[in-house]
Amino acid sequence: MRKPNRLLNVMIMNLALFTASCDNSDMRTQEESKHLKKEVKENVQDTLESTKQFTENKFDEYSQAIETSMNALQQKHRQLQKQALQDGKEANIELQDALATLEMKREQLQKQIEEQNSNRDTPLEDLQLSIEQALEELEELYEVTIARFSRQ
Each residue's pLDDT tens digit, 93-116: 778 888 888 888 888 888 887 877
Secondary structure element (H or E) that encloses residue 152, with its range: none
Lowest mean pLDDT among 17-21, 31-35, 41-45, 79-83: 17-21
Query: What is the rounded average pLDDT of the residues 13-41?
Result: 70
pTM, full prediction: 0.58
- Give the C-alpha distances (Å, rounded to integers) separating 92 from 62, 89, 105, 138: 36, 5, 20, 21
Secondary structure element (H or E) that encloses residue 145, with its range: helix 124-150
DSSP of 18-55, one letter per residue? Answer: HHHHHHTTTTS-HHHHHHHHHHHHHHHHHHHHHHHHHH
What is the CB neighbour count within 10 angstroms for residue 90?
9
Output helix, strand, coil percentages for the chain, rounded to the nearest 5.
Answer: 90, 0, 10
Report how far residue 152's alpha carbon sits from residue 10's, in angstroms, rounded to the nearest whole number: 63
- Taking only the tens place, the pLDDT of each residue in 110-137 is 888 787 777 766 676 777 777 888 888 8
- Taking only the tens place, the pLDDT of each residue in 41-87 is 888 888 888 887 887 788 788 888 888 888 888 888 888 888 777 76
Task: Reply yes or no on whether the pLDDT at 145 is more than 70.
Answer: yes
What is the CB neighbour count within 10 angstroms for residue 120?
13
Report how far residue 77's alpha carbon sits from residue 63's, in angstroms, rounded to the nearest whole number: 21
Task: Reply yes or no on whether the pLDDT at 4 is more than 80.
Answer: no
Residue 81 phi, psi (nearest 5): -65, -40
Side-chain half-sphere CA neighbours of 78 within 13 A: 6
